[in-house]
Amino acid sequence: MMSNAATLPSMLQAGLQAQARGDLAAAERLLAQVAEQAPRQAQAWFALGNVREDLQRLAEAEVCYRRTAELMPGLAEAHYNQARMLQRLGRGAEARVAIAQALRCKPGAANMLQLRAMLEEEAGDLAAALQSLDAAIAAAPERAALHHNRAVVLQRQQQHALSLAAHERAQALGLDVADAHYNHGNTLRSLGRDDEALAAYRRALARDPQHGLALYDLARLRWNAGDADFAAELRAAEAAAPASATAAGIHARLLLNAERHAEAVELFRRAIARAPAASGYHDGLGLALSRLGRHEEALAAHEQAVRLAPADPTARSNHAHSLLAAGRPAEAAAQAEAALALAPQDQHVLALLGLAWRALGDPREPWLNDYARLVRVFDLPAPDGFADMEAFNAALAAELTRRHTDRRAPIDQSLREGTQTRGNLLDEDHPLIVALRRRLAEAIDRYVAELPVDAEHPFLRRRGSGWRFTDSWSSRLRSTGFHTNHVHAHGWLSSCYYVALPAAVDRQGPAGWIKFGEPDLDLGLAPQRIEQPRAGRLVLFPSCFWHGTVPFDDGGMRLTVAFDVKPLP
C-alpha cells in the first residue's frame, strides 16, 4: 500500500493538472487535501490561492497567498498576489504592507510597481503614485496600461496637458479599451475640448455599449452644452440591450436630478423590471414619487430598497427624506439614526436627523445645528501684491469668468440659472488661485482653532490636528439665479467666498443672500440665519447645515468660489 507521503506529490500534480484544464472544483478539492495534509507545502497553498481567486472567493484566496508568503518569504509573487486580493477586498493599508514586501523581494518589477501606484492613488497620495508609475514605465516603457494609469493620476492632479500626452502615448502603444477612451474623454473635457471629449466617450461606447460612466458623462456633457437631446445615447443603449437596466437607470437618475420627476418614475420602473434586486432603482423611484407627492407609493419603494440593501446608508437616508416629506418625522428620525450608525460622517444623514428633531421639537436639534456659533463670516485681507481686495477680486473675476465655459449648470448640482467650473479649482497653480488659497487657509485655521469643544457633537468631535481641501469650484449665477437648499454630503466644513456681486445684493433685503436652516422639503420651516454677501467675504459653516440662496433680479453676475474641507485622519 502506498504511503500517505508518497501520494501527496501525485495529488499535487493531479490538482495542478485539473487547474490547467479548467476543472476548478477538482483542483480545489485535491489542492486543499494536500494543503491540509502537508501544511508546509507552499506550492499547494499558492496554487490553491490561484484556484480560489478564479472562483472569486477572494478572502479565501488571500489566506492562501498569505500562507505561501509565510512559508516562502522571499517569493515576491506570493506577497504580490496577497496584495492584489487585499486591494480587491478594500483592505488598502494591509495591501500596501504586502506590496512593499513584494518589492523588497523583486525591486523594479513593473507589475508590482503598478499595483503600488494603484494603492497609493486610492490612499490619496497622488505624488507617490506618480513616482511609482514613472518607475514602472522605466522598467516597461512599452506597456500601454502604465501610460494610461499615469494619465489618470495626472488628471487627478489637474495636470491636464500632461495627462493628455500620456493618454496619447497609451493609445499609440495600442491601448484600445472602453475605460481608456472614457478616461481620455475626461481629460479632453477638462481642457475644454468638448467635441473631442464627446468623440472619446462615443469610442468607449463603441467598445462597451453599456459602459455606465461613459453613458453618464456623455449625457451630462451634452446637458451642460444646452443640448435638448442630451439623452440620445442613453435611449440608443437601452434599445440595443432591452434586457439591461444600465441605460434606463442612468437616464432615470439624470431626470430625477433635472427635476423631471414623472419621466424619472417611468424610467426607474423600466430599470426595476430588468433588475428587480437592484436596491438603487427602488430608492430612486421612491425619491421621484415623493417629489410628485405620491407618498404612500414612495414609501413602499423605499421600504423595498431597504429590504434589498439593509446595510446601505443611502437607502435608509433617502427613506428618511421621503418620510419627512410624508409628515412622519418620528419614523424619519429612526431611519436617519440607522443610517448614521452605518455612516457616522455622512452629512446628508445628519441634516435629515436634524430636520426630524426640529419637526419633533427635540432639544438636540439646536445643539446639532448651532447656527449662531458655527456659521462664521470672515472679511479677508488682500493678498500680497494687491492694493486692496477690490483689485484682487477684479483680477480673480476675470480669470474665473474665463473658466465658465458651459452654457448651463450641471444637471446634478444645486445651481439654477448659472454655471459651474470643472475640476478642483483650488488644486490649480495659477498665481491668483494660489493667492486665494493662502487667504482661505488662514481663515480656516482660525475657524478650526476657535471651535468650541464638544466630544459628543458630530461636527465638533471631528476636529483634529489639521485639515485638507477636497472639492472646490466656482459658481456664477445670472439674473433669477439661485442655489437650491442642499447640504454637502461628503464634506465636513463648507464655504462660500464672494468674488463679484450684482448691485441687487448690496441693497437692503435678502436678494442673492445665503440662508441657513431651510431644507429642500416644503415643511414650513423658515431659514434660521441669513447672511449678506460682500465681495471679499468668506462664509464658513458645517457641511451638514442646510443652505441655499435667495434669487435676485439684476443684470449683473453673482460670482463665487466654494470648497469643502475634511479633517486629517
Q: Is residue 397 part of a domain?
A: yes
Q: Is residue 359 part of a domain?
A: no
Q: Please, how many CA atoms are within 13 Å of residue 366, restricted to the half-sphere of its CB?
A: 5
User: Is 469 among the domain residues?
Assistant: yes
401 found inside a domain: yes
Q: Give me the pLDDT at residue 508, please.
A: 67
Q: What cell was used for 252?
A: 432615470
Q: Is residue 4 part of a domain?
A: no
- Give the start-end residues of each E strand in 372-443: 376-379, 415-420
Tell me the pairing of strands 493-500 and 467-483.
unpaired
pLDDT at 7 over 90: no
| Number of neighbours of residue 211 by Cβ within 10 angstroms | 21
Q: Which set of grid coordinates corresponds to residue 41?
A: 507545502
- The stretch 188-199 carries a mean pLDDT of 95
Residue 460 has pLDDT above 80, yes or no: yes
pLDDT in tens, 488-540: 988 999 999 999 999 888 776 799 999 999 999 999 999 999 999 999 999 99
User: How far is residue 54's CA from residue 341's CA, in Å, rounded to a whole number?
Assistant: 35
Rounded average pLDDT over 433-450: 97
**How would residue 423 be classed by pLDDT, with cut points 50, 70 and 90?**
confident
Q: How far apart are CA 69 and CA 42, in angstroms?
A: 8
CATH for 550: 2.60.120.620
| Top-confidence residue, 524 or 117 | 117
**What is the residue type of 528?**
Q
- Please name the residues in contact with 217: beta carbons below 8 A apart, sequence gap of 6 or more: 182, 185, 186, 189, 201
342-350 mean pLDDT: 96
Cell numbers describing residue 297? 407609493
Q: Which three cell numbers mark 281?
A: 432603482
Please give the average per-residue pLDDT across 175-202, as a whole number: 97
Taking a C-beta distance cutoff of 8 angstroms, is the pair 564, 490 a contact?
yes
Q: Alpha-carbon distance 54 to 75, whole Å?
A: 21
Helix ranges, 191-211 (H): 194-207
pLDDT of residue 428: 87
- pLDDT category, 4, cuts 50, 70, 90? low
Tell me if 307 is assigned to some domain. no
Residue 129 lies in a domain: no
Domain hosting 408: range is 372-567
Q: Per the domain annotation, does 405 fall within a domain? A: yes
Q: What is the predicted pLDDT for the residue at 8? A: 84
Contact 485, 547 (CB under 8 A): yes
Provide the sign of the torsion angle of the four alpha carbons 317, 319, 320, 325, taken in this order.
positive
Q: Please count the residues of the chain.
A: 569
pLDDT score of 213 more than 50: yes
How far CA 409 is from CA of 158, 335, 362, 526, in Å, comes to 21, 32, 37, 26
What is the number of domains present in the chain? 1
